[in-house]
Structure 1
Amino acid sequence: MKKWISCLFSIVLLLSVSLGASATENIIRLATTTSTYNSGLLDKLLPVFEQKFGVKVHVIAVGTGKALRMGRDGDVDLVMTHAPAAEKAFIDQGHGIEAKSVMYNDFVVVGPASDPAKIKGSMDVEQALRAIAASKSQFISRGDDSGTHKKELALWKAADAAPTFDGYKQIGQGMGKVLQVSDELQGYTMTDRGTWLAYQARLNLELMVAGDKRLFNPYQVMLVNPERYKGLNTEGARSLAQWLVSAQGQKMVNDFRINGEVLFHGSAQQIVTAQ
Structure 2
Amino acid sequence: AVYNGGYSNASKRGICLRISNGGAGQTGLIQAWADAFIQHRVACGEDPFEIAWYLGDTTDSLALLASGAVDFAITYNAAAEQQCIDAGAAKERIYAFRDHFILAGPISNPAHLKGDDDILTMFNKIVTSGNLDVASPPNSEIRPPTRFLSRFDKSATNIKESFLFATIGQIPWAFDCCKWYHQYPRFPREALETASLLSEYTLTDYGTWISATNAVKSRLSIFKMGSDAADDLLLNPAHLLHGTRASLVHADLCDAFAEWVANSTGGQKVVETFSKDGHVLYTKAP
TM-score by length of structure 2 reads 0.79
Tell me the residue number matched to 2:199: 186
Provide the residue aligned with 1:266 in structure 2. Answer: 284
| Higher percent of residues as helix | 1
| Identity of matched residues, % | 27
Distance 2:192 2:116 in 1: 20
Distance across 2 between alignment mates of 1:232 and 1:159: 49
Report the Cα distance in structure 2 between the residues aligned to 1:248 and 1:129, rounded to whole angstroms.
39
Q: 1:214 is paired with a residue of what secondary structure?
A: coil
Give the conservation status (yes or no) of the 8 Å contact 1:111–1:186.
yes
- Partners of 1:230 and 1:221 lie apart in 2 by 16
Aligned equivalents of 1:200, 1:146: Cα separation in 2: 22
Match of 1:146 in 2: 155
Secondary structure at the counterpart of residue 88 of structure 2:
coil
Residue matched to 1:3: none
Distance 2:249 2:55 in 1: 19
How far off is 1:161 after superposition?
Answer: 2.1
Aligned residue in 1 for 2:220: 205
| Matching residue of 1:4 | none
1:240 aligns with one of 245, 257, 263 = 257
Instruction: Confirm or deny: 8 A CA contact 2:13 2:49 kept in the other structure.
Output: no
Q: Does 2:42 correspond to 1:29?
A: no
Shift, 1:45, TM fit: 2.4
- Corresponding residue for 1:218? 237
**Distance change (3 Å), C-alpha of 1:118 and 1:94:** same
* Deviations 1:82-104 (CA, angstroms, capped at 9, x unpaired): 11111011111111012110110
Letter in 2 for 1:150: I
| 1:251 maps to 2:269 | yes
- Cα 1:39–1:135 change in 2 (3 A) is same
The TM-score normalised by the length of structure 1 is: 0.82
The ranges of structure 1 where at least 4 consecutive aligned residues each deviate by more than 4 angstroms after the TM superposition are: 229-232
**1:45 pairs with one of 22, 33, 39:** 33
> Distance in 2 between the 1:126 and 1:63 partners?
25
Contact in 2 for aligned 1:76/1:232 (Cα 8 Å):
no
Shift of residue 208, structure 1, vs aligned partner: 1.1
Change (3 A) 1:51 1:230: closer
Cα distance, 1:239 vs. partner? 2.0
The one-letter code matched in structure 2 to 1:39 is T
Deviations 1:135-187 (A, max 9, x none): 11211111111111111111111121222431111111000000011011110
**CA 1:219 to 1:154, structure 2 compared with 1: closer, same or farther past 3 Å?**
same
User: 1:230 deviation in Å?
Assistant: 7.1
Q: Distance in 2 between matches of 1:234 and 1:141?
A: 39
Alignment of 1:98-117 (within 5 A): 98-117=92-111
SS for the counterpart of 2:99 is strand
| SS of alignment partner, residue 171 of structure 2 | coil
1:214–1:123: structure 2 CA closer, same or farther, 3 Å change rule? farther
Query: What secondary structure, in the 3-state scheme, does the structure 1 residue paired with 2:120 have?
Result: helix
CA-CA distance at 1:198 after TM superposition: 1.2
CA distances 1:119-146 after superposition (whole Å, capped 9, x unpaired): 1424511111111111112111111111
SS at match of 2:212: helix
Out of 126, 146, 153, the residue aligned to residue 132 of structure 1 is 126
What's the CA shift string for 1:223-251, capped at 9, x where partnerless? Answer: 1113xx77574333222222111123211
Amino acid at match of 1:223: H
Per-residue displacement from partner, 1:49-106 (whole Å, max 9, x unpaired)? 1233222110001110010011111111111111111101111111101211011021
Q: Hey, what's the Cα distance between the residues in 2 that align with 1:29 and 1:81?
A: 14
Partner of 1:6: none
Specify every segment of 5 or more residues in structure 1 that has no aligned partner in the other structure, as ranges. Answer: 1-21, 271-275
- Given candidates 86, 91, 96, the residue that maps to 2:85 is 91
Deviation per residue, 1:10-36 (Å, 9 max, x gap): xxxxxxxxxxxx957x52111112x11
User: What stretches of structure 2 of length at least 5 have no aligned partner?
Assistant: 1-11, 42-47, 131-145
Question: What RMSD, in angstroms, separates the aligned Cα atoms of the two structures?
Answer: 1.9
Residues 78 and 206 of structure 1: is their aligned pair in 2 closer, same or farther, counting only changes over 3 Å?
Answer: same
